[in-house]
Amino acid sequence: MRGAQALDLAAASLVRAGCPAAFHDARLLLRDVLDEYPAAVATAALPPNAVDKLMNAVAARADRRPLAYVRGRASFRGLDMTVDDRVFVPRPETELLVESALDIPLGARVLEPCTGSGAVAVALAVERPDLDITASDVSGDALAIAQENAVRHQARVRFFCADGIAAVPGDEFDAVVCNPPYVAETDRGTGALPPELERHEPGQAFWAGTHGLDLYPRRVGQWADSVRCAAFEVGDGQDPAVERLLAGRGLAVRTRCRTAAGAVRVVVAVR
């Protein structure tokens, strides 16, 4: 089978499965199989093992497994992050959370709870190596991936298995940067969520009660009084409720970071 035929076959399978970017996904999967995608592939005959690998990857994607899981990696702020079904796939919108934290004072002690794949902590450590970063998660499986990503990118991050600040050694942090679960349980089974999320990603990484706000009070309530700055990722329309919680801890919202569609996705508050 020639490269162009394999690509068309793969894309057609993904179209039938309802994948929203079928040709894009097929092209990336073919590139992964061949470790490259030269123009000559279109007319060249592919080795049988390459076709088999491609079709296996396509079958996994057609089952609506996240593309990042099928490929074993996701790009986040220009860094390749290892991911699999033990962790939530880092989203491009979460890059706003890292961007919002880049002006944290020099040498600040930063806590990133709910770290998951470690993408936020690792990217922040790479871009701001002066920061003293600690990251935590309740999932030991997730922390194994996070540590792998830190080693891969030579990022100086300490990791602890803990629920927020609880059980993290040291009781004082200057800043908290957090992307907690914030998807409302009322969306379960309604078709409002992509099947990649609801069927394959770890539920504890995104479900957060009836309104998607259950984790915020717990996270905010755990903070030591030393926290001077907080940056939270929020779901659509959740920013007013989160801002009220922050105000209750003496933190006033300074910045609201918006998506390309105009939704507030990150709130930054200072004391």
179: annotated active-site residue: yes
What phi-psi label fits residue 113: left (phi over 0), alpha (psi between -120 and 50 degrees) or beta? beta
113: annotated active-site residue: no
From the candidates 88, 160, 173, 206, which is the catalytic residue? 88
Distance spanning both ends of the chain, measured CA to CA: 63
- Pairwise CA distance, residues 220 & 267, whole Å: 13
From the candidates 179, 181, 206, 232, which is the catalytic residue? 179
**Checking DSSP bridges between strand 229-233 and strand 264-270, what pairing results, if any?**
antiparallel
88: annotated active-site residue: yes
Q: Would you list the DSSP string of 132-198?
A: EEEEEES-HHHHHHHHHHHHHTT--EEEEE-STTTT-SSS--SEEEE----B-GGGTTSS-S-HIII
> 117: which residues sit within 8 A by CB, 6+ positions away?
74, 81, 82, 83, 87, 88, 89, 90, 142, 145, 146, 149
> 120: which residues sit within 8 A by CB, 6+ positions away?
90, 94, 97, 98, 112, 135, 177, 179
From the candidates 66, 113, 180, 181, which is the catalytic residue? 180
Q: Which residues are catalytic?
A: 88, 179-180
